[in-house]
């Protein structure tokens, strides 16, 4: 992530924090607008996830200073989280199968 | 950290493999407390992920329709129901407090006692506002709408259990964070981090890095809310 490594005690300019802060407000506003305009289906989910990951990334990278950390720490944190995201995806797919088999056996009786 | 010149170490993945294989501390230039806070936050991520996995799985597999959050969490304003109004305000309050915390950390680095203290205090007040609004939201759902962990008038019965579990766990984190923010605001104003006064539970000298560690926790609370807002309220 970071090409320029900074000493731990060095400070960053206040502008970067204000920029990220403003961006978080704008992104939150946009994700609220997704609900306000009542988007449905794939558009809704993809927009929600897009704004969510953007906000989470901004908070972690700049507010939590991960952008300025060395790779040893960044990778220890991000790979388990990536694995979790895959796990959530797997379980959603599994849930679709569960509801299918529930409906199938409740109403068709297994045929 | 003074004997370690991070600029001379290689960066990127090469730096990572050298850090890990250095037979010395792995997280170079990272205060031990900060590393431990990160490890704690990672484990806390696992806890919240358990809730998320369970919630997504149940939500995807219930046969009854899931309550539509946009209507469940709507507030009447001047006789018109505004969807997710309170949740939107809560989100903005939490982001605001996250921003003030980031500034507190910045002024902590600069050893600017007054500004750091004020921003920590401001963050605490923001967090307290958030908890207050959440209490209002809970009481409205419980007493007005009759939502219970075992049932609710809107749809799938599992809704209440997941709502109280997930937002309750997050609210607990916020409350603990608020308590610590108030304690640390007092410590900053008292000058603990300038004089290196020793803490109550430890003989170690206080340092402004504590503010950054506290900031990590607070930003994490905000981070979790980003996911709750997306998956629970908007989904």
Q: What percentage of chain A's residues is helix, strand, coil (to nearest 5)?
A: 80, 0, 20
Best of B2, B58, B65, B95 to disrupt the A interface by mutation (most A CBs within 10 Å)?
B95
Q: What is the pLDDT of residue B3?
A: 57
Q: What is the mean pLDDT of chain A?
A: 84
Which pair of tokens denotes residue B171?
């609210």
Pair (B16, B118) in one structural domain: no
Q: Which of B46, B92, B227 is nearest to A55 (CA)?
A: B227
- Tell me, yes or no, whether B10 and B73 share the same domain: no
Q: Same structural domain for residues B42 and B155?
A: yes
Report CB contact under 8 Å: A17, B219: no
Residues in A touching B62 (Cβ below 8 Å): 99
Q: Tell me the percentage of chain A whose pLDDT exceeds 90.
A: 35
Whether the per-residue pLDDT at A81 is higher than 70: the answer is yes
Residue of A nearest to B38 (CA): A77
**How much is the pLDDT for A111?**
56
Segments forming the whole domain that contains residue B229 = 32-234
Domain ranges of chain A: 6-69, 70-111
Pair B10, B91 in one domain: no
DSSP state, residue B205: B
Residues B19 and B55 occupy one common structural domain: no
- Regarding whether B227 and B215 lie in a shared domain, the answer is yes
Same domain, B119 and B66: yes
Contact B184, B195 (CB under 8 A): no
pLDDT at A110: 61
Model-level pTM? 0.90
pLDDT 10s digits, A20-38: 999 999 999 998 888 888 8
Residues 50-69 of chain A whose Cβ lies under 8 A from any Cβ of chain B: 51-52, 55-56, 59-60, 62-65, 69
Residues B48 and B108 in one domain: yes
Q: What local confidence, expressed as pLDDT, does residue B169 receive?
A: 95
Q: For A31-52, b where at least 16 C-beta lie within 10 A, e where not — what string?
A: bbebbeeebeeeebeebbeebb
Of B7, B38, B56, the CB nearest to A95: B56
Q: Per-residue pLDDT averaged across A90-107, rounded?
A: 86
**Mean predicted confidence (pLDDT) in A42-69:** 91
Same domain? B37 vs B16: no
Co-location of B55 and B21 in the same domain: no
**Residues B100 and B16 grouped into a single domain:** no
Number of domains chain B contains: 2
CB contact under 8 A, A35 and B234: yes
Mean pLDDT for the stretch of residues A42-50 = 89
Say which CATH number the domain at B96 has.
Answer: 1.20.120.80
Q: Is residue B75 within 8 angstroms of chain A, CB to CB?
A: no
B13 and B56 together in one domain? no
The tens place of each residue's pLDDT in chain B, 235 residues long, gives 455 677 788 888 888 888 888 888 888 888 899 999 999 999 999 999 999 999 988 988 888 888 888 788 888 777 777 888 889 999 999 999 999 999 999 999 899 999 999 999 999 999 999 999 999 999 999 998 888 988 888 888 899 999 999 999 999 999 999 999 999 999 999 988 888 888 777 788 888 899 999 999 999 999 999 999 999 988 8
What is the ipTM score, two decimals? 0.86
């Amino acid at each position: 992530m970071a090409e320029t490594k900074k000493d731990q005690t060095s400070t960053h300019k206040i502008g970067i924090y204000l920029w990220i802060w403003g961006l978080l407000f704008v992104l939150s506003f946009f994700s609220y607008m997704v609900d306000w305009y009542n988007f449905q289906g794939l558009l809704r989910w993809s927009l929600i996830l897009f704004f969510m990951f953007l906000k989470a990334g901004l908070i972690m990278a700049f507010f939590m200073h991960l952008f300025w950390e060395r790779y040893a720490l960044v990778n220890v944190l991000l790979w388990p989280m990536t694995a979790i995201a895959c796990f959530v995806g797997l379980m959603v797919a599994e849930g679709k199968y569960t509801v299918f088999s529930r409906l199938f056996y409740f109403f068709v009786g297994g045929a | 950290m003074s004997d370690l010149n991070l600029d001379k170490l290689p960066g990127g993945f090469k730096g990572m493999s050298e850090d890990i294989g250095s037979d010395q501390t792995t997280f170079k230039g990272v205060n031990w407390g900060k590393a431990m806070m990160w490890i704690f936050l990672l484990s806390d991520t696992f806890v919240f992920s358990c809730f998320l996995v369970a919630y997504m799985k149940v939500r995807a597999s219930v046969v009854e329709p899931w309550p539509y959050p946009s209507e469940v969490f709507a507030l009447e304003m001047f006789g018109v129901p505004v969807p997710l109004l309170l949740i939107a305000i809560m989100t903005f309050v939490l982001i605001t407090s996250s921003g003030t915390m980031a500034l507190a950390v910045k002024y902590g680095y600069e050893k600017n006692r007054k500004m750091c203290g004020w921003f920590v205090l401001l963050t605490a007040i923001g967090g307290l506002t958030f908890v207050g609004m959440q209490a209002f939201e809970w009481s409205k759902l419980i007493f007005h709408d009759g939502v219970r962990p075992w049932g609710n008038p809107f749809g799938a019965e599992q809704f209440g259990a997941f709502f109280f579990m997930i937002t309750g766990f997050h609210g607990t984190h916020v409350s603990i964070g608020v308590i610590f923010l108030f304690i640390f605001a007092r410590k900053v104003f008292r000058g603990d981090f300038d004089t290196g006064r020793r803490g109550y539970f430890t003989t170690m000298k206080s340092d402004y890095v504590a503010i950054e560690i506290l900031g990590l926790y607070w930003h994490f609370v905000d981070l979790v809310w980003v996911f709750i807002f997306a998956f629970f309220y908007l989904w």
